[in-house]
């Protein structure tokens, strides 16, 4: 019996050190050497200041900026509270929020159909990207608020549009942070 307890103790100690300390340190070290930007959250800097991450969405509410998808993470875009709302399609709170968002978007662009991702949150609530249709929907507002030609804004959207990974994985998308930063660089708000 004593021999079995000693073996169990040593096995626990060795596996804890191997898989609780050495393995995580090795994986972290390799990630830092091989993929440092990804290992550190793909942070985006502007003028030496961190303004966001390529992989975490944020709320753009000021005029002249492309809007992200709605977020249900915490109080909205809270990376420490990533989650969906878990509200069903007939839930009154969800229906009221979607109706309110649809009303705002109809004022913004009354003639165009509203892309679904501008009124629905992603599962994580932190999606950094919108569909090309959602970006296209916002082009007239951005052009008007920035005093730009719609074609110039459309060119920026196309520049930041990405297709399916490997030609068949995922959906076409536009990173909102990168697009808004480029928009500020090309034609700053006045």
Average pLDDT over residues 136-158: 96
Question: Model's pTM, two decimal places?
Answer: 0.81
Q: How many angstroms separate the CA atoms of 133 and 113, rounded?
A: 10
DSSP string, 15-35: HHHIIIIIHHHHHHHHHHHH-
**Percent of the chain at pLDDT exceeding 90:** 63
Q: What is the pLDDT of residue 180?
A: 96
| Cα→Cα distances 131→116, 125, 139, Å | 9, 15, 13
Over residues 152-185, the pLDDT tens digits come to 999 999 999 999 999 999 999 999 999 999 999 9
- Beta-bridge mates of residue 50: 45
Element (H, E) at 183: helix 176-186
95-106 pLDDT per residue, tens: 998 999 999 999
Do 73 and 124 form a contact (C-beta atoms < 8 A)? yes
Query: Hey, is 67 helix, strand or coil?
Result: coil
- Looking at every residue in the chain, the average pLDDT score rounds to 91
Across 106-181, the runs of DSSP E, i.e. the strands, are: 129-130, 161-162, 173-175
Q: What is the pLDDT of residue 37?
A: 84
pLDDT at residue 140 tops 90: yes
Residue 83 pLDDT class (50, 70, 90 cuts): confident
**Where is pLDDT greater, at 38 or 67?**
67
Residue 24 has a pLDDT of 96
**Region 56-73: what's the mean pLDDT?**
90
- Distance (Å, whole) CA 119 – CA 86: 15
């Amino acid at each position: 019996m004593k021999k079995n307890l000693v073996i169990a103790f040593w096995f626990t100690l060795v596996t804890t050190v191997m898989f609780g300390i050495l393995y995580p340190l090795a994986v972290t070290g390799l990630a830092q050497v091989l993929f440092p930007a990804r290992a550190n959250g793909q942070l985006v800097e502007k003028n030496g200041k961190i303004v966001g991450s390529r992989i975490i969405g944020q709320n753009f509410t000021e005029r002249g900026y492309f809007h992200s998808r709605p977020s249900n993470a915490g109080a909205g875009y809270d990376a420490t509270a990533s989650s969906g709302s878990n509200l069903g399609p007939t839930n009154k709170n969800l229906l009221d929020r979607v109706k309110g968002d649809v009303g705002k978007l109809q004022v913004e662009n009354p003639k165009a159909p509203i892309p679904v991702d501008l009124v629905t949150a992603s599962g994580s609530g932190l999606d950094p990207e919108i569909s090309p249709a959602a970006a296209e929907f916002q082009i007239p507002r951005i052009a008007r608020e920035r005093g730009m030609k719609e074609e110039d804004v459309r060119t920026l959207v196309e520049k930041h549009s990405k297709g399916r990974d490997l030609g068949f994985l995922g959906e076409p998308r536009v990173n909102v942070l990168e697009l808004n930063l480029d928009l500020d660089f090309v034609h700053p708000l006045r």
